[in-house]
Structure 1
């Protein structure tokens, strides 16, 4: 061996930090060399110790890298060969030996052993050339990439030969099995750009061509290639006693959460054409065929050029790129404070390698479509091209390239220490001092770089490192400052395939649990797995919106549950562009949407199943007070004027009702309206819907079904229950009674299919019920309950006027008159309506025995208690609990029935159908004390405010133990309580007060009620 054969620098740039360890390894090597049986190699070993520069180089390596020391001791007889030729000659010999070894390998174990032996030797070779100053950064990364190409290509060829020998593939040439195989392996990232780092993993995309693959097996070509890919990963990254070859990552393929490990070229092209994201465009810049049929791979990438290099970028696309850039910028820190060398991540941290790479790639994505000279894969080449094209100054390019060279070299030294894929600086001063020695910085600082601190171990190195990090951060920051739109994104990065550690930390700090699951959900949105996100524009808008969206979700009481509901909402959304544009332009609506998802699961589920109601949120009056009856009638009339047929009538009515119910629910949630206003609004909405539907059903019945009209006949719709009293909630049914009349007992409708009057109105009423309840594409309108009609379920659907009056006067029970106190006509013939109102007033104002009426009321209450079961001691069962809403209603109805006859014509309006207004009028009439009246009205308001919230928030009963935190907070806000315990005590006290009034006015019951101080 001649001294000139190995052209290392003299003196060697690096020095040993741990001289004792270096000496120990050298001594062990010398002893191992002396024990070699081959006299030629033994002589070369002896000569090695006579070369001071070689010994200094080995000492610098072993004194800083335990890993390289172990490599040398595991392969003693090969060590002299590293110095017998130039590194390039050595590399070529090792790659030739690898190819031959794989050709000769009889089984996968032998092939894996050959791959690992070659990897260990190449790792030591590169370390010698790098630390010895023989190779520059480009040569080092090129050598590492060449070995990766050889390892991946050789393993693929070995596997293809095995598949050919088994009869799965009819390969054209078994000596070159990759050619014509239909299989392509793309090297991505640093491998694709020949920039692989020392302990890097390799990002691969494995593709196959359906038409070119010569598959002859019994399954499919895809099955065959998936098995091959699994074997390839095993060959490369499985850790055996011989080590590993390359950590392998296949997640850069299209939508890795859905797509198989090997993707057909056709499917991949369709994905990029329709769902490809800007970060995937950036990733494909560096793509290169590294194994398989290279010509087929090159043709595939050529077809992808229009996707990678978009010639025309709209505002949304540029905004999306800038949004990614802002995330990177905020992630690495936008402040002006200092950087701590210890623990700093030189890749992902402020001023790190990724900032340089993204600085180049961002400008490539924007300008490369129109300037082909920017379509380069290597980072430094791209920076020079950007300078040549006038995109950046020459000084900026020079400083970024210098920083890239330094940081990549430092990255290699970090990874050489223990063969770890790390870019994080040691957290101790001693560790930093070791790196300073390994980098050759134990002498004076570089010129023109002011040390940041007083002199100390490794201080010169610190100054150089901080200088480069600062310059990169400065230039990257200027590029960021040019991006439009301020944002407070925080450290949230979701593009790419890996979970970003700082993003996971930030999500946890924001209040999310299971940050990896949250990241996976958001990543799925970016992959366009939902219909609303399949357009490029929708995904680009989402990228811009995402930081504010996650912040709004994080501000809710249970961020995880809120995100899950928003995810379900997105999954049902037909299109996303309009919604995302609206939410971006109107942040208050974004906060509102998050509040719905966080505080009202039932309303959120309703929204997820009826995503078209989101359109209502775009209107200017959405957050205003719900419209009153007159405005609603005009609104419905305008809608139904557009109906082309009766099906349109059904759908348009349902759509409008859903939108308005959603608006009311949102305002209940935001506490902008109380239960009185929401009850009226829900009732006005139902009344309008019934009133709008009645003539349309009549038209369809008369003309469509050809039953014609009944001359002189009339019908009215009588609202009972919550609709009658205008105390509805979002889940209330419609309690209805249909009353009709006609002049002639023998009346028959005039039409092609005439019907007798009774049958006519019975069928017509059933058609109206069907119109209100039948499910259509827009869902149901309302549930209708007819049990309050004369004779209940056993009676006819519609009742003639005389029969209605006779029943109420002669057969109706007291509880039916109690229900009748809430009756209100909402649609139909005006003249008949007046007659029905008069009949109801006569019935309700007839004299009654107070004791008998009280006994009837108590019996009905006891019957309902028995039917309700044991739950009526639960203070949260606001309707049925003793002292609850039902008791308040019974008190009001009892007093109405008893005292109505005392005032002729009900001049004091104690027969008002609304409970609170009736109580107020009873108080003014002197039939109820002011104290009791105020107590009952206040209790009714509390109950109904809470019930209105519960009905929009949860399906079923409210359970404080399982209720969403957001809904609990809303309940506390409505009630003024500080916590649930205080609210429960208030409910118990209120219920005790109501029950005491019930017993005082109506009478006692056998059961016990709540024990607490009455109101």
Structure 2
């Protein structure tokens, strides 16, 4: 080996010769102060002085170190550079066992020695004494030496404190159980000048050094954290290496040190495509080297698949699609171009090699190497690539790596981007040996174009992932700049957060994404999902709701496949997530409700009572246990409320039809719950002689106008033999007590919260005497109260009463009883006066919140209901059979009470309110706030109102309300005058 200064050094040209001369003079001063006579003499040598002069001017980082520590190159006057590097590495290794070493002294020593090695390697590189592979090889060895020195120190320290028991303190790494894998360029011996080092840390739990396997994760995670601190923390002496541990399995939820068995289970069950590619370069670099080799041997079948079955080919194509999207990272350019990630850059060459290796390496072990250029040669030998591709990519790889090193030598920063300013760009060109920036630009563009052409040819058959939208790359654990830009363009406000969420899907942390097939389907679906969510007004919010859905799904393949093959269903899902937070919340909490959408006939069949009853009987099956029946009812009700809502949301049914469907569903649930309660109650308390029960549906349940979020208003009535004194069960009860207790049990069955949710919130305030009266009423008492003591408002409420469940004979009796009570003669003027006063009282005590409060606003739903109820009570409805539906009554107002045109306007108003209120209750949990509507919800309101924009809907609502209030006032004033 020759001495550094006796060799022919590649000439470098400084940018500013005057500045370079001044810097050389500064170096001479430093040499004198540091007492470096050999170097002082060498500076009189013209070639040596010229080289150092240019280095000082072109590299601020090297300048700062050399002016402060000229002794680094003093050694080169009598020791060959390679020999000096070997000495430095030996000193690094010895630093962890020197007398009195502490963590602090070790950190200082490693920083000083790494800095010296760093400078020596840079000088050899710039001088043309090292080829690219030699430069990366020396940089890698330096990193390994530093890592091993820190690991050895930490192992001895842990041994001394009793955390572990080393088999041999003189050789602490042997059998220690602490496996440190070098990944990426460190693992491939291709480290760049200012690179991070990628590590994965495993624990061999079978190692004799580990005392308690239960404590080993905490022990070695703590050691790993200290290892990172020793290497990475910036001190007065700088830092050694930035450390990245994010290539380990599922880094967001796993410890820094992972037991081998857990890691193997992860890779075999949840390992991702990009992790296969990453493992190509994995290599034990410190700790228990032998155990590390065994781990990689066990992982070989995961990385290198012997047979290229369909799934394996799909995996490789998935990698290709993700990599191919990188082509969107800017056009081929020069200034500001990312030499690593940009088009035609280093990453494209690396992926070109790795994808070929993944395809062929399972059958040809010689293709399993980690070094890029060497594998280009092996691929050519096997005819997987042409000799032309081997030579062209090999040469450009070295050229681009040299440029990368020089960019980083400027300030010792981990950057891969060429400077955009003239001086900075020329600085890199001069360090590359070019006198003119234009010549460098020409060669650089030619290199990028060559790489791009070979890379594009490799992926010609791969489906485009980013062609329409741009980059969509979610591999690794670092945000891809182009992907962030794409997400922003799609409409996402927090693209980095969205990247993190999608990476969570790929890590298989949810049950729905644990299988490789599910993750593959979701990867295929992701671009369409992002595009669809991006078209909503609050894309982030919608996607996060979808993420909550994924968290709760027990499995994902079926749903992902369905969405992939059914764009309208995907659109519906996006609509739910963006426009219907209430429905989205239901899906999130109870994802099983979404199962109903897997039925392709769901939108073709109307949710009639017969349809619901048939499915309910099938769902209940032969279940006879009380709690099981109730839970099945809760599950069925939740799913079918959701499916009715979906039909409404999609436009398959209108608001009026939805109201009937919600009410039919409630009727069935109440009937089945009542039957179950009666049977269960009878087990202990028996039955009452002649006992019969009937439930009257009141309010919107009675009028068949329930919404997705409605409570149910009920009155429970009963009858029994006159001479019945007690029930005949084990624990006897008097009839009144029997039915009160039974009713309380029914209320609990309907409204008590359980793991399966609540069937319905129940309101019994419309029973005789309201909250003061018993919860169950004898039919005789009910008839007597309604005839003699009921207020006008109670008779108004009774106009909507409808028997919904119970004994068939009692149901018929109660129906005729209600008809009879409503047919009683009334003073129309007094009734009208009571209605007007009641409406005024409500308006005073419960004023509307805003114009969207369609129930309480003047001219709103209450006005329409009161008009219909007044007409029903006073005989102003022309129908053969009593109807409880508000709209039906308004449509049949007698002509003596209201002109047909008035009746039509009232019906139209009610239909508008029904469509809007059904949509609102379906989608929102709270009230409508015009300035803060969920994205897409405004469009639903416009569709419900059949108007083009929300402003026109609001104007129309105001006009309709004024019309209704005008008719309300006129019709009731007229009724009072006529009397």
Tell me the TM-score normalized by structure 1.
Answer: 0.88
1:418 to 392, 398, 411: 411
User: Pick from 67, 73, 77: which aligns with 1:73?
Assistant: 67
1:631 deviates by 2.2
Q: Tell me the distance in 2 between the aligned counterparts of 1:574 and 1:681.
A: 29
Change in Cα spacing, 1:798 to 1:151, as seen in structure 2 (3 Å) is same
* One of 891, 908, 920 as aligned partner of 1:920: 891
Q: Alignment partner of 1:970: what SS?
A: helix
Pick which of 825-834 and 553-562 moved more: 825-834
The residue that corresponds to 2:909 in the other structure is: 939
Aligned counterpart, 1:468 = 447
Cα distance, 1:388 vs. partner? 3.1
Asked if 1:246 corresponds to 2:235, the answer is no
Question: Which deviations, in whole Å up to 9, do the C-alpha atoms of 1:436-468 show, x marking residues without a partner?
Answer: 3322244xxxxxxxxxxxxxx433322322222
Partner of 1:395: 388
User: Secondary structure in 1 aligned to 2:892?
Assistant: helix
1:737 maps onto 2:715 in alignment: yes
Does the C-alpha gap of structure 1 residues 277 and 124 become closer, same or farther in structure 2, counting only changes over 3 Å? same
Question: Is the CA contact 1:633–1:692 (under 8 Å) kept in the aligned structure 2?
Answer: no
* 1:560 alignment partner in structure 2: 540
Cα displacement (A) at 1:67: 1.8
Change (3 A) 1:515 1:758: same
Q: CA deviation at 1:205?
A: 2.1
Q: Hey, what does 1:627 align to over in structure 2?
A: 607
Between the aligned partners of 1:778 and 1:256, the Cα distance in structure 2 is 34
Aligned to 2:855: 879
Quote the offset at 1:66 in angstroms: 2.2
Q: Contact 2:689–2:721 at 8 Å: present in 1 too? A: no
Give the Cα separation in 2 of the matches to 1:320 and 1:643.
45
User: Quick one: structure 1 residues 375 and 679, their matched pair in 2 at CA, closer, same or farther if it must change by over 3 Å?
Assistant: same
Displacement of 1:646 = 4.7
CA distance in 2, matches of 1:657, 1:218: 49
1:573 alignment partner, one of 550, 553, 578? 553
| In 2: Cα distance, 1:788 partner to 1:636 partner | 29
Report the alpha carbon displacement of residue 83 of structure 1 after superposing the two structures with TM.
5.3
Does 957-966 or 719-728 show the bigger shift?
957-966
Q: CA RMSD, aligned part only?
A: 3.4
Matching of residue 99 in structure 1 with residue 107 in structure 2 = no
For residue 961 of structure 2, the aligned residue among 979, 985, 991 is 991
* Displacement after TM superposition at 1:739 (Å): 4.4
Matched with 1:404 is 397
Q: Distance in 1 between matches of 2:860 and 2:728?
A: 52
Q: 1:294 aligns with which of 268, 289, 295?
A: 289
CA distance in 2, matches of 1:957, 1:778: 26
In 2, distance between residues paired with 1:545 and 1:721? 45
Query: Which residues of 2 match residues 970-1009 of structure 1 at below 5 A?
Result: 970-975=940-945, 983-1003=953-973
Confirm or deny that 1:362 pairs with 2:342: no
101, 117, 121: which one pairs with 1:122?
117
Cross-structure match for 2:473: 493
For residues 279 and 122 of structure 2, what CA distance do their matches in structure 1 show?
30
Moved more, 934-943 or 219-228: 219-228
The superposition leaves residues 196-240 of structure 1 with CA deviations (integer Å, 9 ceiling, x where unpaired) of: 001111112233334537468999444443443333223222223
- Given that residues 320 and 541 in structure 1 are in contact (C-alpha distance below 8 angstroms), is that contact kept between their aligned partners in structure 2? no
**Are residues 1004 and 147 of structure 1, via their aligned partners in 2, closer, same or farther at CA, if it must alter by over 3 Å?**
farther
Q: Deviations over 1:388-444 (max 9, x none)?
A: 3343333323322222122111111111122121111121355433333322244xx
Q: Describe the shift of the 1:489–1:87 C-alpha distance in structure 2 as closer, same or farther (beyond 3 A).
A: farther
**Cα distance change on mapping 1:939 and 1:910 into 2, 3 Å:** farther
Instruction: Output one character per residue of 1:856-902: Cα deviation in whole Å (capped at 9) or x when no partner.
Output: 2234334544653xx436333221233321121011111221234xx
Cα gap change, 1:234 to 1:757, in 2 (>3 Å):
closer
Q: How does 1:379-394 map to 2 (within 5 A)?
A: 379-394=372-387
1:785 aligns with 2:763: yes
Alpha-carbon distance in 2 for matches of 1:155, 1:76: 27
The change in CA–CA distance for 1:377 and 1:776 in structure 2 (over 3 A counts) is: same
- Kindly report which structure 2 residues correspond to 1:550-949, keeping only aligned pairs within 5 A, or say none: 550-624=530-604, 626-641=606-621, 643=623, 645-691=625-671, 707=686, 715-740=693-718, 746=724, 769-795=747-773, 797-828=775-806, 831-865=809-843, 868=846, 871-872=847-848, 874-900=850-876, 908-909=879-880, 911-922=882-893, 925-949=895-919
> For residues 575-615 of structure 1, what are the alpha-carbon distances to aligned partners after superposition, in whole Å with 9 as ceiling and x for unaligned?
22222222222232222212211111111111111100111
| Deviation at residue 246 of structure 1 after TM alignment | 1.2
- 1:483 — aligned with what? 462
Aligned equivalents of 1:714 and 1:774: distance in 2? Answer: 25
Relative to structure 1, the CA distance from residue 593 to residue 294 in structure 2 (aligned partners, 3 Å threshold; closer, same or farther) is same
Deviation at 1:628, TM superposition (A): 1.8
CA distance in 2, matches of 1:641, 1:223: 51
After TM superposition, the structure 1 stretch with the greater mean CA deviation from structure 2, 607-616 or 160-169, is: 160-169
Higher mean displacement: 68-77 or 928-937: 928-937
Structure 1 position 973, deviation (Å): 4.2
Unaligned runs of 5+ in 2: none
> Equivalent residue for 1:1010?
none
Mean alpha-carbon deviation: is it higher for 12-21 or for 458-467? 12-21
Alignment deviations for residues 803-848 of structure 1 (CA, whole Å, 9 cap, x no partner): 4444333333222221121122334555544443333222222221
Change (3 A) 1:370 1:865: farther
Distance 2:879 2:218 in 1: 84
User: How far apart are residue 15 of structure 1 and its match?
Assistant: 3.6
CA distance in structure 2 between the partners assigned to 1:182 and 1:866 by the alignment: 78
Normalization by structure 2: what TM-score? 0.91
Cα shift at 1:751: 8.9
**What is the SS of the residue equivalent to 2:875?**
helix
The answer to which of 752-761 and 470-479 deviates more is: 752-761
Q: Report the 3-state secondary structure (helix = DSSP H, G, I; strand = E; otherwise coil) of the residue aligned with 1:103.
A: coil
Cα deviation 1:133-179 (Å, max 9, x = unaligned):
22222111110000000111112223333444455444343333333
Q: Which among 312, 326, 329 is matched to residue 331 of structure 1?
A: 326
Aligned residues: 973
Asked if the contact 2:321–2:464 (Cα under 8 Å) also holds between the matched residues in 1, the reply is: no
* Greater alpha carbon shift after TM alignment, 472-481 vs 212-221: 212-221
Q: C-alpha distance in 1, partners of 2:669/2:519?
A: 38
Corresponding residue for residue 449 of structure 1: none
Cα separation, partners in 2 of 1:842 and 1:77, compared to 1, 3 Å: closer
Q: Confirm or deny: 8 A CA contact 1:57 1:128 kept in the other structure.
A: no
Please give the alpha-carbon distance, in whole angstroms, between the structure 2 residues aligned to 1:223 and 1:832. 70
Q: Within 2, Cα distance between the matches of 1:215 and 1:139? A: 38
The farther-off stretch of 119-128 and 670-679 is 670-679
Contact 2:878 2:893 in 1 (8 A): no
Distance 1:765 1:861 in 2: 32
Contact 2:470/2:482 (<8 A) preserved: no
Q: Over residues 461-513 of structure 1, what are the superposed CA-to-partner deviations in whole Å (9 max), with x where a residue is unaligned? A: 22322222223222322332323576645312222122222222332333223
Which residue number corresponds to residue 22 of structure 1? Answer: 20
Alpha-carbon separation, structure 2, partners of 1:670 and 1:278: 37
Q: Distance in 2 between matches of 1:392 and 1:755?
A: 91
CA–CA distance in structure 1, aligned partners of residues 415 and 464 of structure 2: 34
SS in 2 for 1:942: helix
Any residues of structure 2 matched to 1:139-178 within 5 Å, and which?
139-178=134-173
